[in-house]
Amino acid sequence: MSLIQTKNLHLHYGNFHALKDVNIEIGRNEVVALIGPSGCGKSTYLRTLNRMNDLIDGTSIKGEIIIDGQNIYDKKLDVNELRKKVGMVFQKPTPFPKSIFENVAYGLRVNGIHKKAEVEETVEQSLKQAALWDEVKNDLKKSALALSGGQQQRLCIARTIAVKPEIILMDEPTSALDPLSTLQIEQLIEELRKTFTVVIVTHNMQQAYRISHKTAFFYLGELIEYADTKQLFENPQHERTKNYVQGKFG
Amino acid sequence: MRIKYLGEKIIEGFIYGSGWITTLVVVVIVVFLFREGSGLFNKKPLEEGYGIVINAENKVREITAQEIRQIFEKDITNWKELGGADEKIVVFSLSNIDKYFTEKDLGESFSLLPEKIKEFVQENKGVIAVFPEKYLATSLVHLEIAPISFWSFISGKDWYPTATPSPQLGVLAIILGTLWVSLGAMLFALPIGIGVAIYMAEIAEKRVRELLKPFIELLAGIPSVVFGFFGLVYIVPLLQNLFNLPVGETALAGSILLGIMALPTIITLSEDAIRSVPKELKEASFALGANHWQSIARVIVPYAKSGVISACILGIGRAIGETMAVLMVTGNAAVIPTSFLEPVRTITATIASELGEAQQGGIHYEALFLLGSILFIITFLINWIAELVTRKK
């Protein structure tokens, strides 16, 4: 059974119908890219998976998202538990105004893990997994704000990994970075998919092609096509998909 | 075309100049304050026109204002205590002259007084005679009064600026009173102010916030004398009954009023700071499974820290400089505060209530200016500390 099942999902911001009848299944350890022009609903869909849209006033949702066999919009569900299981990396790096160490330890501490040895071990492991350890191991007490943009983004990934999620959501994680940092993040995603399921929103078609197993194309709130990446890019079934991936509009 | 150009030039000149003019005004005020205040140290703390004479054999040549007071209050009764010979002090002044001479002895309109003083001083080895200078023969030995030192001004516990013959100008109790009332105000205003700011910025629904906001802004617009009335009529009697006090005019009453007056500053500025925390940062915290409280306590408020601190400093600044309300409710007793349930006197209240009766250019007048300078230094230091704290980030 798929890890994430989205069934007949509709989302409204006030009167605006932002997602229209979306159905997607995402399997464990897959990397799924969400593509489409600006305002097509791809980020909105991503943010339904960890209920980040709850924070926006006037959002209403119909349909179901089932993760690990549980409807995440069930009233009895603990949102904070869900967000531990479904981590998120944002477009702009968002380090907290704390030390590098405390940034990674934050997720542990808010989830009640305080044992020093355990925290230290997890922080080290997470930084290693995010390919940042070698660069910062001597400066763990330094402010995270002093890192470069690419380093900050990898720190945010380390921070997300530290709470041991099953799924990592990425909302255009490289759009604010230079090409070299982008490359590092892409290589990191290659590694991450061994352990996690990754859903990534991207504007960069080559990036989607390089790193994902499956790609979903959104247009005006609708899921137009969802297929294996290779197939979607090389042999799209829909006219709109074809135009978009071939760069005819966007 | 040319007129328009000229207009632009004038506006440009105004904008360029305004910053300098403002700076200049501040500098002029500060210089004026310190110049008037520093005159105090050149003056002798003795009633104007008076002189002090002693017996020629007396070795003591100079005493302080405080020692004169102690002599007149019989706390010092022997010259030995002032470094002189073992001789009992005999106070001789206009107020006890009838003990030694009858009206007849002194002649018509005190015409014989200079002669009598001279005789009396020469006969009594322990005499200290304080009289208007015009009655003192020049041949008599004068006792000098030490000028006020900065240290004695700051550390002196007695504030009797109109005492005769020697005004007592010690401001320790007044400075501590100011700090004490402000401390009380902050103990009460900081938690409430920051709490309300967090509530308004993070927790309250938009409707509730829009309802509360005008009220808090209105609080800033109430004149301080109205706060004073409110304190006098409600808070003072309430405290008196609540703690069973002889008088309700206490430091606590002042602290409560100042706290209320500092609230709008603290709330408005802290709320702005908290509201300006990037949305992404909050979301990042939520995305790691933190609940709302954890996000507020560990990410949002720490991020807004410098803004919240500067809000609090500005609130303290308002509290320390506030005059009218504290004047009305703190009881104005210049004693060193030991509890919040006693009357205290603040710098601002002292200046406001006494400047009108102090003789211009006199020692009391200059002491009040020096108090003003000290207030300026205190607020300056607070601002400087705030600057350091926020820069550390």
Q: What is the CATH number of the domain that holds B348?
A: 1.10.3720.10
Q: Which residue of B has its CA nearest to A78?
A: B289
- Asked if B274 and B337 sit in the same domain, the reply is yes
pLDDT digits (tens, 9 = 90+) for B5-48: 888 889 989 888 998 999 999 999 999 988 888 888 888 888 88
Looking at beta carbons, which residues of chain B come within 8 Å of A170? none
CB contact under 8 A, B302 and A52: no
Confidence of residue B84 (pLDDT cuts 50, 70, 90): confident
Taking a contact as any Cβ pair under 8 Å apart, which residues of chain B between 333 and 362 contact chain A?
A: none
The Cα A232–Cα A236 span in angstroms is 5
Query: What is the Cβ-side half-sphere exposure of residue A149, based on CA atoms within 13 angstroms?
Result: 13
Q: Indicate the residue of B289, B298, B299 with minimum beta-carbon distance to A80.
A: B289
Closest CA to B178 of B388, B31, B382, B364: B382
Tens-place pLDDT, residues B51-75: 899 988 888 888 888 888 889 888 8
**Mean pLDDT lowest among B96-110, B234-248, B342-356:** B96-110
Provide the domain count of chain B.
Answer: 3
Beta carbons of A88 and B283 less than 8 Å apart: yes
pLDDT at B87 over 70: yes
- The secondary structure of residue B57, as a DSSP letter, is T
| A11 strand-pairing partners | A19, A61
Of B206, B288, B303, the CB nearest to A106: B288
Q: Does A80 touch chain B (CB under 8 A)?
A: yes
Taking contacts as CB-CB distances below 8 angstroms, the residues of chain B near A106 are 285, 288, 290, 298-299
**% of chain B exceeding 90 in pLDDT:** 46
Is the same domain home to B248 and B131?
A: no
* CA neighbor of A26 nearest in space, from A212, A186, A208: A212
Instruction: From B90, B111, B146, give the residue that closes a domain.
Output: B146
What structural domains and CATH numbers belong to chain A? 4-245 (3.40.50.300)
CA torsion angle A98 A104 A106 A111 (round to 10): 180
Q: Is A163 on the interface with B (CB under 8 A)?
A: yes
Instruction: State the DSSP code for B146.
Output: P
Residue at B306 is within a domain: yes
Examine residue B270 and state whether it is found in any structural domain, yes or no. Answer: yes
Measured between alpha carbons, how far is B278 from B295 in angstroms, rounded to an integer? 13
User: Do B188 and B309 fall into the same domain?
Assistant: yes
Residue B82 counted as domain residue: yes
- Does residue B33 lie within any of the structural domains? yes
Residue B275 shares a structural domain with residue B326: yes
How confident is residue A249, by pLDDT bands cut at 50, 70 and 90?
Answer: low
Whether residue B366 is found in the same domain as residue B289? yes
A96 in contact with B at a CB cutoff of 8 Å? Answer: yes
Inspect the interface and report whether the beta carbons of A110 and B280 lie closer than 8 Å.
no
Residues B27 and B58 in one domain: no
Partner A contacted by B284 (CB < 8 A): yes
Among B131, B146, B161, give the residue marking a domain's end: B146
**Beta partners for residue A197, in sequence order:** A167
Give which of A127, A81, A88, A85 is closest to A104, Cα–Cα: A127
Chain A residues whose CB is inside 8 A of the B303 CB are 96-97
Residue B66, in any domain of the structure: yes
Check whether residue B63 and residue B184 sit in a common domain: no
Residues, chain B: 393
Q: Are residues B103 and B218 in the same domain?
A: no
Q: Give the range of the structural domain holding residue B105, as residue numbers without chain letter.
A: 50-146
- Whether B152 is covered by a domain: the verdict is no
Q: What is the mean pLDDT of residues B358-383?
A: 90
b/e B147-167 (16+ beta carbons within 10 angstroms → b)? ebeeebbeebebbebebebbb
User: Per the CB < 8 Å rule, is B286 touching A83?
Assistant: yes
**Within this chain, do residues B69 and B206 fall inside the same structural domain, yes or no?**
no
pLDDT in tens, B157-213: 899 988 888 889 999 999 999 999 999 999 999 999 999 999 999 999 889 999 999
Please give the span between the terminal C-alpha atoms of chain B, in angstroms, as a whole number: 50
Count other Cβ atoms within 10 Å, centred on residue A67: 22
Same domain? For B222 and B83 the reply is no
Tell me the three state secondary structure of residue A5.
strand
The residue among B238, B226, B235 whose CA lies nearest residue B329 is B235
Torsional sign, CA A123, A129, A130, A131: positive
Half-sphere exposure of B50 (CA within 13 A, CB side): 19
Tell me whether residue B154 is in a domain: no
ipTM for the assembly: 0.90
Note the pLDDT tens digit of each residue in A142-201. Answer: 999 999 999 999 999 999 999 999 999 999 999 888 888 899 899 999 889 889 999 999
Q: Tell me which chain B residues have a C-beta less than 8 angstroms from the C-beta of A83.
A: 286-289
Let me know whether B231 and B263 are in one domain: yes
Of B280, B291, B302, the CB nearest to A90: B280
Question: In terms of domains, do B373 and B233 share one?
Answer: yes
Q: Do B315 and B379 contact (CB within 8 A), yes or no?
A: no
B383 within a domain of the structure (yes/no): yes
Q: Which of B10, B26, B42 is the last residue of a domain?
A: B42
pLDDT for A248 beyond 70: no
